Amino acid sequence: MIYTIQENIDFYRAGYQIIGQNSFEDAVYKAVGKIVSDFSKHIDTNLISYDKFYKGTLLKFHTIMIAEGIKEYVLNDKEFDPLYLIELYRWLISSSEILLEEK
C-alpha cells in the first residue's frame, strides 16, 4: 500500500484536500479498515482474544493508526523511504503494549 501511495503521491495529496461528506480521508479510512479486517481473518482467533481488548477495538486501533499514518505521510513534505514506514509500523505494533504498561 505504501509503495502505491508513493507512486501516486500527488493524487493522494489532492485527494486529502476534499473534505466534508464522503471525503477522501473517510474513503482511505474505510479502505484501510477493510484491509485490516480481511487480514485479521488469517490470524489465529486465540491470539486476538488473548489480548485484553475486544477484537473490534483492536482492529479499529490499527485502522486508525494506519489511516492517520498514511495521511501524515501524504501531507508531509518530507520524503520517507517506504521501508522505514513499514518498520516503524512493525515497531509500533510490537511496542505499543509495552509502552502503555510503562506509562
The three cell numbers of residue 8 are 501516486
Q: Which residues of the chain have pLDDT under 50?
A: 50
Give phi and psi for 57, each to the nearest 5. Answer: -65, -40
Which pLDDT does position 39 carry in this prediction? Answer: 82
Which pLDDT does position 15 carry in this prediction? Answer: 93
Q: Looking at beta carbons, which pairs linking 91-96 to residues 24 or more positions away fall under 8 Å?
A: 92/65, 93/62
Which pLDDT does position 100 carry in this prediction? Answer: 58
pTM, entire model: 0.72
Cα–Cα distance measured from residue 5 to residue 46, given in angstroms and rounded to the nearest whole number:
33
Amino acid identity of 93?
Answer: I
Under a CB-based contact definition with an 8 Å cutoff, are residues 24 and 32 in contact?
no
Domain layout of the chain by residue ranges: 2-102
Which pLDDT does position 65 carry in this prediction? Answer: 86
Amino acid identity of 96?
Answer: S
Which pLDDT does position 30 carry in this prediction? Answer: 94
